[in-house]
Chain A
Amino acid sequence: MSNRVLMKGNEVIAEAAVRAGCRHYFGYPITPQTEVMHYMAKRMPEVGGTMLQAESEVAAINMVYGASAAGARVMTTSSSPGISLKQEGFSYIAGAELPAVVVNVVRSGPGLGGILPAQGDYFQATKGGGHGDYRNIVLAPASIQELYELTVEAFNLADRYRMLALVLGDGALGQMMEPVAFRETEPIERVEKPWALTGRKGRAEHNTVQSIYIEADVMEAFNAKLQAKYADVTARETRVETVDCEGAEVILTAFGLTSRICRNVMHLAAKEGIKVGLVRPITLWPFPSQTYADIAAQPSVKAFLDIELNCGQMVEDVRLAVNGAKPVHFHGRTGGNLPTQQEILELVRQLAGRSAT
């Protein structure tokens, strides 16, 4: 391990992007992620890159669209209300099949909400938000180290599939500090972009980037092409971490930082003789449905308990995946509040049939 340093999450997002070869960043201030811009404002000039403060989140995502169309590795970051404004751009990026990286350091909502950490943007991130039949790759880091690695990986995935890769963090992940070990060299995959706008420079045909398909059959064929791509992404890129699910009675499931509270609950439960497993989706889209189905089929498993910092969003995908094979329960907190280990442990006891201690 080299270059092990203590860094704030938001700064790690920026440094990871620079290390991934991103030389164009467009942003607009919003708490709790603005440190990404502060870092980029100083860092980009060091590497010959551009950090441009846009006039709005809308302008920023359309700058991402333009820079990506021009062939650049490009990123914008924001937080929940700002991400809502970018959704039109997400749809255009999908429609034009452009690679792009976006980070959402989620705060609580709806509305202007609060600036404390939350996971209330799961639906928005995984089910669209913008118009039309499109998907984004959604990555959910649970530590600063993973935030770094997944941000780098987001650029590779975006280029590989010509689609938007969204890193879904939360206000705590953005604001907290943890040690991060930077790699000597990043695993950057460079892909050719013959479709990019560079000026014709002798090319026989002009390149065009657009997302409009006026004729019914052309539009339908394009949608079929997108769906085939999404099926390919689902087959190749679904990522999930499972912990001690073999022989477990209760399966906790959570994404991002919430999973770390669940890990502590597992240890507390083990002391009481309750065997608890954990399923942590790393890609929220594609969702690791098969993993849930396989674990639900284990005879030892009595129930799933989904823990989120929202009113019940990922739990809908968990229930679809488990498909009635076992009960799926939910416990959520909002507004920046976190569930305590004790309140989760009490629910685990009940599900394991060991309540009334």
Chain B
Amino acid sequence: MKPVFTRTTGLTDKPFHYCPGCTHGIIHRLIAEVMVEMGILDTTIGVSPVGCTYNNYEYFACDMVQAAHGRAPAVGTAIKRVHPDNMVFTYQGDGDLAAIGAAEIVHAAARGEKISTFFVNNAVYGMTSGQMAPTTLVGQVTTTSPFGRRPEFEGYPINVSEMIATLRGAVYVERVAVNDFAHISKAKKAIRKAFRVQQEGLGFSMVEILSTCPTNWGKDPVASLRWMEDAMFKQYPLGVYRGQELEV
């Protein structure tokens, strides 16, 4: 029997702990597959965040370090400065990257650090049970915005890709989604491009990946995918925000 589908060697055998319908698992697999296909699994060092994916250092088969909340870009910066010939990526959620770690991501991008950030945006704090995130949509109900996010009280969501794309050091910024096969394919291409940009030493690269959180959204997995398409796509248009012309 010839296997038609196997695990990727970019991931360890440790089973994921993610909730049913959560798309972190898909994103992990895409990053892992790209590392294997590019032949960089042996030279890549990843940085895990704080949040639902705090322990993805157990899942990715490359060398991994777990960072304090929001500090992954600072940790990744230093690793890359120590090992400039290695590949370095950070994996961060929206609370980690856009709230407590806003300074670190902005300055790593501004310095043009030759690292790649995979920014998973599900519009909510997942691990701590569904609080409002910097990316929570206007009107979205969370455990800390129980009346829906009110701009006059809680302010507006942050469009991180658009913001980071204003920085010269950020040479490739794209927002993708993992809601269906076509988008998952595009997401994988973006992840590959981010690593390629780093490999070529061009500067900072970031892929923002729209993701679901059925548990904290209070929706079943299919309804969650629909909500991502109907609500999140409007606030967070998909596309390349920087580096469209780069061919790597």
Contacts and interface: CB of A to CB of B under 8 A. Distances in A.
Interface size range on A against B: 35 or more
Interface string B27-50: 000000000000001111101100
B82 interface: yes
Given A92-B68, A209-B66, A65 B42 contact: no
Contacts of A96: 65-66
Which bracket fits the contact residues of B? 35 or more
B62 interface: yes
Given A197-B79, A202-B42, A59 B103 contact: yes
A220 to B, nearest CB: 19
B75 interface: yes
Nearest to A196: B63
Interface in A6-51: 24, 26, 50
B142 interface: no
Contacts of A201: 42-43
A199 B81 contact: no
Contacts of B71: 58-59, 62, 65, 89
Interface string B83-103: 100110000000000000001
Contacts of A200: 41-43, 61-63
B208 interface: no
Contact of A212 (B61, B66, B74): B66
Contacts, number: 131
Interface in B78-128: 78-79, 81-83, 86-87, 103-104, 106-107
A24 B104 contact: no
B45 A70 contact: yes
B78 A199 contact: no
Contacts of B77: 52, 63, 66
Interface in A198-251: 198-202, 206-212, 214
B42 A210 contact: no
A199 B83 contact: yes
B103 A199 contact: no
B12 A206 contact: yes
Contacts of A88: 68
A26 B106 CA distance: 17
B81 A24 contact: yes
A24 B81 CA distance: 8
B81 A54 contact: no
Given A70-B45, A197-B45, A199-B83, A206 B74 contact: no
B134 interface: no
A207 B63 CA distance: 5
A66 B63 contact: no
Interface of A: 24, 26, 50, 52, 54-56, 58-60, 62-67, 69-72, 74, 88-89, 92, 96, 197-202, 206-212, 214
A-B complex: 7 closest residue pairs judged by Cβ atoms: A66-B78, A210-B66, A66-B75, A62-B71, A63-B78, A62-B74, A55-B107
